[in-house]
Amino acid sequence: MGKRPVSSSLPARAPLPAPVPARVPLPAPVPGRASLPGRAPVPGRAPVPGRAPVPGRASLPARAPVPGRASLPARASLPARAPAPVPGRPAWPDDANCPAVLAVDGGNSKTDMVLVAADGTMLAQVRGPGVPLRLSGDTLRLLAALAGSVARAAGLPPAAAGDAGAAPSAGGLIARHMVACMANVDLPEEYRELDQMLRAQAWSHTVDVANDTLAVLRAGLDGRLPAGLPGGADPDGADPDGAAPDGADPDGAAPDGAAPDGAAPQGAAQWGVAITCGAGINGVGVAPDSRTTQYLALGELTGDWGGGQGLANAVMWWAARAEDGRGPQTLLREAVTAYFGVPEVRDVAIGMHLGTIEEENLHGLVPVLFEVSGRGDEVARDLVYRLADEVCIMSLTAIRRLGLTEAAVPVVLGGGVLTARDPVLIGRIAAGLKAGAPGAIMRIVDVPPIAGAALLGLDHIRAPASAHARLRSAYRSQAGGGQLRRPAGQQAGRR
């Protein structure tokens, strides 16, 4: 098709008007120049300062009221508006009314959580199962369940505590500071990942994440750790707490080469080496200048031996071989069958294989081992000696790595196996430390690791020495009989 012809009947289009020239902006007022004369003020309206009325211009008459409509009263000035609360976070009047510390000690056999006030008062505490072997969402779910339980036990507002049986929602403030000392969190990337997980929950304003061995070390020391570590002292080395050594050995005595709890030399109370031996075994060393050394502690893959589980497996190994003739006779054979109430050691092994005996029950063989060792059984005593030597090797290696062989180094022993204070075990450890590091001062903690985690939190908020003493006293009063509250539906872990 061709082009459509243009109709000739349309009128000619009128030309467009000339474009409006660009408006010239008014000049800015010159400072100090008087306003133009003229405009009269509007009745009832305050004159603008510095502006003169326009002469000859009539004022607008006042507006008459509308019949039947009441006059509005003069508007009062509004008070300053408070910041809007964060959804899901309780409106604390101020931080002083918010619990100070939410502390966690996550071990292989159990996880303890405590809520502490700024003056060291224990507000609530709960216990749950051990932490998962690998950091994951299961770890966070465990901590969330415990956080909700401890918040409810302390009577915190519903937004912080969550519903009964449920975890608190993200943004539910529980405490000013959180300290999480966790087993199976051993690598820098794991520290960072857990730190991010906990910060995202917003249970506290600030968060510190550390390995559980650091809680044991703090539990056995008299003051804050060096600068750069959780709850660390001021960079200039000053300790505002003014904390004096606290704690004494209730027995009033210590093995050769050891010192009673809390009896540390001047200047050696805020750093040292800690070995924890509960279900597993691990250690940490901290130098006065904040240098640290640790072990991977991933089990046999990283050269580890010991801990309650390792000892229990060794007891079963020797008892089974004594029964079937592959090994020497030992009193452990009869002790194992008596403990489980079965005729033969093989019945225990079969029960574990079939699931009728829980693996957690094996941990109870550690006191059996100590008892048989005390009766002079050679096999049992060799096992106790081997554990003592392992504790010494870990301690002396950490001391050597930090270059503190000649220093008066506190060596803190914690965990259920070591705090049982078996005389054969503790005596051999003391002798080994004295031979390898003559200045070392052995300490056995008299409060659980969760107390150490809470002390790290009190360190962070710069709580006074009286707060530390109050918290320690609360835990010492529980020794031998204090039972942590366990959330409903949770099974007991290995002690």
pLDDT of residue 6 exceeding 50: no
- Domain total in the chain: 2
**Which amino acid belongs to residue 322?**
A
Residue 238, domain member (yes or no)? yes
pLDDT at position 190 is 94
pLDDT of residue 36 exceeding 60: no
Residue 366, domain member (yes or no)? yes
Contacts of 93 (CB under 8 A, 6+ apart): none
Residue 249, domain member (yes or no)? no
pLDDT of residue 378 exceeding 90: yes
pLDDT of residue 300 exceeding 60: yes
What CATH number is attached to the domain comprising 229? 3.30.420.40
The verdict on 466 and 416 lying in the same domain is no
pLDDT grade, residue 255 (50/70/90)?
A: very low
The verdict on 413 and 458 lying in the same domain is no
The verdict on 472 and 423 lying in the same domain is no
The verdict on 418 and 305 lying in the same domain is yes
Calculate the CA dihedral of residues 314, 183, 466, 477 and round it to 10 degrees: -40
Which region among 78-87, 287-296, 315-324, 406-415 has the lowest average model confidence (pLDDT)? 78-87
Residue 59, domain member (yes or no)? no
Residue 269, domain member (yes or no)? no
Of residues 423 and 46, the one with the higher pLDDT is 423
Residue 261, domain member (yes or no)? no
The verdict on 189 and 116 lying in the same domain is yes
User: Three-state SS for 85?
Assistant: coil
The verdict on 196 and 310 lying in the same domain is no
Average of pLDDT values for 335-364? Answer: 95
The verdict on 468 and 383 lying in the same domain is no
Residue 85, domain member (yes or no)? no
Residue 483, domain member (yes or no)? no
pLDDT grade, residue 327 (50/70/90)?
A: very high
Query: Which residue among 426, 443, 460 closes a domain?
Result: 443
pLDDT of residue 72 exceeding 50: no
Pair 449, 105: CB distance under 8 Å: yes
Boundaries of domain holding 171: 95-244+447-478
The verdict on 423 and 470 lying in the same domain is no
User: What is the DSSP-derived secondary structure letter of residue 360?
Assistant: G
- Interior angle at CA 8, CA 2 and CA 10, nearest 5: 120
C-alpha distances in Å from residue 116, one per residue of 103, 181, 328, 385, 441: 8, 16, 52, 39, 30
pLDDT at position 77 is 37
The verdict on 211 and 132 lying in the same domain is yes
Phi-psi region for residue 290, left (φ > 0), alpha (ψ -120 to 50) or beta? left
The verdict on 341 and 451 lying in the same domain is no
End-to-end CA distance of the chain: 96
The verdict on 474 and 348 lying in the same domain is no
The verdict on 238 and 99 lying in the same domain is yes
